[in-house]
Amino acid sequence: MSRAPEQPQDPIRWCAALAFAFWFACLPYLASVPYAYFDEVHYLPAARELLAMGSFTNREHPLVGKELIALGMAMFGDNPWGWRLLPSLFGTLALFAAMRALWFGTQSRFATLSYGILVATGFHLFIHARIAMLDIFYLAFLSVAAWHFAAAIRQPEQGRWRLAVTGVALGLAMGAKWNALIVAALPGIVFFFARASAGRRRLFLSRRGAPVPGITLVEAALWLGVVPLLVYAASFLPAFFFRQNPITEGLIFHHEFMLSQQENVLKPHPYQSTWEQWVLNARAIWYLYEPVEGVQRGIMLIGNPLTMLLGLPALAWCAWHGIARRHWAALGTTLIYAVSLGFWIFANKPVQFYYHYALPSMALLAALALACDALWHNGWRKTALAPIVGSVLIFAWFYPIISAAPLARPDSFAVWAWFESWR
């Protein structure tokens, strides 16, 4: 008799524990800066106007992120905790959902938990979970979409409601920040090509074949195409009811205005950078570095120096493994990285910043987790653990300069700003 196939145990409790540990790590010094810093100066006033339904400001960005910042202020007060507690919870959701996506994509406990540790200690998610900016919200919603899309493929008996959740999450991600736009199209494109490759004669009406048996291509277009657009459009509803500067010309005209604002040539900025610098982790942004009520504090946005570089050969391995060995999780990871980074390579936006690398960095760390997983299952266990342990140790070393912890002296930044381009 042949052995029964192995049934890997779902590490959902460990995923939840890692997510809560991440959230607890976000809480120290969360409210230590009692005023708006970095891009909070744009989004906090816009959220206040939303609460009062006064003037429609910050019109160049969609509304979901600002609506959620306003919700945090309504729940916890117009104070540092009210500004930043909800972003920290969405950062926790992003981490948990990203782990769930990789679990359903791989069924590997090691890959899933390794990915959670790598993302939690990769700097990008941590820093954006502690500031009232839009980025953490689109990252969270995209992670939820990836989770349920992968789960629909893995468990087609739940495919319908999973795809519905995917569509809603994609709409909210686009409504949080336009960074999500091109990645939000991927599930629908993947579904179409997977179903077309199945060779069904009734391409649009057949319920058989990958990626989700039981769902026709027409129904998938509803969940992954129509629903996201409807949710995205609905997120603009409050903008029609502001007392000042509401939308009066319709959504299409307003989007033409938004696009013109996004493509405006901005003045050169000391923190602007290019995609090559993002890939090499070569250009930092100082979100904060100044005395705060007599105490020197700082927040430097940079990727984890170890994993941002180790992730590059891991990504190349995933590309090869995905194409040559048809490892779909590796191929999907490579695709998300290429599309999310390629968006900025070709975008008509002359001044760009390192925080646009937040989404590609999550895909990069997924590639590193998959490469470590391959090492682990091939018996190279110490080698597989080394990047994960190293990531945690470097995160602990950099914690003071990414968390606004008290610093000893005005020149303390030199301890962590290893290169001139990080200063």
* pLDDT per residue as tens digits for the range 377-421: 999 999 999 999 999 999 999 999 999 999 999 999 999 999 988
Q: What is the mean pLDDT of the chain?
A: 93
Question: Residue 364 — very low, low, confident or very high, per pLDDT cuts 50/70/90?
Answer: very high
Question: Residue 135 — very low, low, confident or very high, per pLDDT cuts 50/70/90?
Answer: very high
The answer, yes or no, to whether residue 26 has pLDDT greater than 90, is yes
Report in angstroms the alpha-carbon separations of 202 from 199, 217, 218, 220. Answer: 9, 10, 11, 15
pLDDT score for 128: 98
Question: Residue 351 — very low, low, confident or very high, per pLDDT cuts 50/70/90?
Answer: confident
pLDDT score for 265: 55
The answer, yes or no, to whether residue 90 has pLDDT greater than 60, is yes
The answer, yes or no, to whether residue 172 has pLDDT greater than 60, is yes
> What is the count of structural domains for the chain?
1
**Structural domain contains residue 5:** no
Which residues fall within 8 angstroms of residue 342, CB to CB, at 6 or more apart? none
pLDDT score for 113: 98
Q: Other CB atoms closer than 10 Å to residue 352's CB: what's the count? A: 19
pLDDT score for 199: 66
Q: What average pLDDT does range 354-361 have in this prediction?
A: 96
Q: What average pLDDT does range 251-255 have in this prediction?
A: 91
Question: CB burial class (10 A; 0-12, 13-18, 19+) of residue 238?
Answer: middle
**Structural domain contains residue 414:** yes
**Structural domain contains residue 169:** yes
pLDDT score for 263: 73
pLDDT score for 349: 76
pLDDT score for 200: 62
Question: Residue 20 — very low, low, confident or very high, per pLDDT cuts 50/70/90?
Answer: very high
**Structural domain contains residue 1:** no
Question: Residue 324 — very low, low, confident or very high, per pLDDT cuts 50/70/90?
Answer: confident
- Among left, alpha and beta (phi > 0; psi -120 to 50; other), residue 4 is beta
Residue closest to 288 by CA, chosen among 23, 84, 83, 32: 32
**Structural domain contains residue 73:** yes
**Structural domain contains residue 104:** yes
- Measured CA to CA, the distance from residue 45 to residue 26 in angstroms comes to 24
pTM for the model stands at 0.95
Which tens digit of pLDDT belongs to each residue from 274-315? Answer: 999 999 999 999 999 999 999 999 999 999 999 999 999 999
Torsion of CA 310, 312, 313, 315, to 10 degrees: 120
pLDDT score for 350: 76
**Structural domain contains residue 4:** no
pLDDT score for 33: 97
Q: What average pLDDT does range 321-344 have in this prediction?
A: 93
Which range marks the domain in which residue 151 is found?
A: 12-262+273-422
Specify whether the CB–CB gap between 224 and 170 falls below 8 A.
yes
Specify whether the CB–CB gap between 127 and 301 falls below 8 A.
yes
Q: What average pLDDT does range 52-81 have in this prediction?
A: 96
Can you give the length of the chain in residues?
423
**Structural domain contains residue 268:** no
The answer, yes or no, to whether residue 226 has pLDDT greater than 90, is yes
Q: What average pLDDT does range 246-266 have in this prediction?
A: 85
